[in-house]
Amino acid sequence: MDKNIIHYGVELKNFNSWKVGGTAEQFLICDEKDILASFIKKKKIKLPITIVGLGSNLLVRDGGIKGTVIVMNGGLRKINNDENLIYTEAGVSCSKLSKFSAKEGLSNSAFFSGIPGTVGGALFMNAGCYGSETWDYVQKVLMINLNGDQIERKKSDFEISYREVKNSNKGEYFLAAWFKFPKGNKDRAENEIKELLAHRKNTQPLDWPTAGSTFRNPKDNFAAKLIQDCGLKGYQIGGAQVSKKHANFIINLGNASALDIEKIIIYIQKVVYEKKNIQLLREIKIIGDEIES
């Protein structure tokens, strides 16, 4: 699809990892920060704005999304070593950030290979796995607001917690970030990535359309274990199913609708609360409109 051009009525199932959902009223892939800023300043971007990375932690409802969907993956993908800080734009995949940092002889970035999304998405939700989180290594970020202004902000400007990042400056979106990783050994860092990817392949249903972990892990517990203990592995609605390989993953068997997936999410929450007295909170974000009946 052509970049730096506003498109209309684009099917969003092609831009999220669950492969479901309706259309975007307006749609843009932009590969330069200044071009995006210009689009906003000239009011070519219809509000509201919805930012999408790889769409890997996202459920797009079947009714689609009003306003403008801006896809970072395929657009803002610059990455470099900026005076011992890794500068990366929001559209860079977390996996690429991990591998680039390892090649630079830096350590502690392997966990990013286990995050199936972009840096922008990881910043937005403080994504993490295997005991590490995105904002553990953020030094500063570059934002863009609804006037098209680009603003650098410090880590201290944000309220950061487990899978949640709050910005008191409303109407701002992540464009890029600077990460600081400790110095390490290149070979060791690259081997850590290989081991993590092998573990991920063995334990997660990567051969199916899925959005990664559906629910956050409750304190001192694991969502996957709770779901499995409630006998929900393999539970199915329409074309959506709780993975038999990893219970915190919901897979699209090929013909699922977003509504099928959302119904499973609600059902899992209901059953786990009834049987375990624990309220599972979603890790995935649900956006868009339901189909009008």
Cα–Cα distance, 10 to 15 (Å, whole number): 9
- Give the active site residue among 77, 163, 200, 216: 163
- Give the active site residue among 17, 109, 213, 243: 213
Cα–Cα distance, 272 to 248 (Å, whole number): 12
- What tokens appear for 47 in the block? 């509000």
Among 186, 175, 158, 181, which Cα is nearest to 70's? 175
To the query of whether residue 213 is one of the catalytic residues in this protein, the response is yes
Among 74, 53, 52, 76, which Cα is nearest to 64's? 52
To the query of whether residue 17 is one of the catalytic residues in this protein, the response is no
To the query of whether residue 283 is one of the catalytic residues in this protein, the response is yes
Cα–Cα distance, 266 to 220 (Å, whole number): 22
Identity of residue 34: D
DSSP character at residue 276: H
CA torsion through residues 227, 264, 203, 121, sign: negative
Catalytic residue annotation: 163, 213, 283
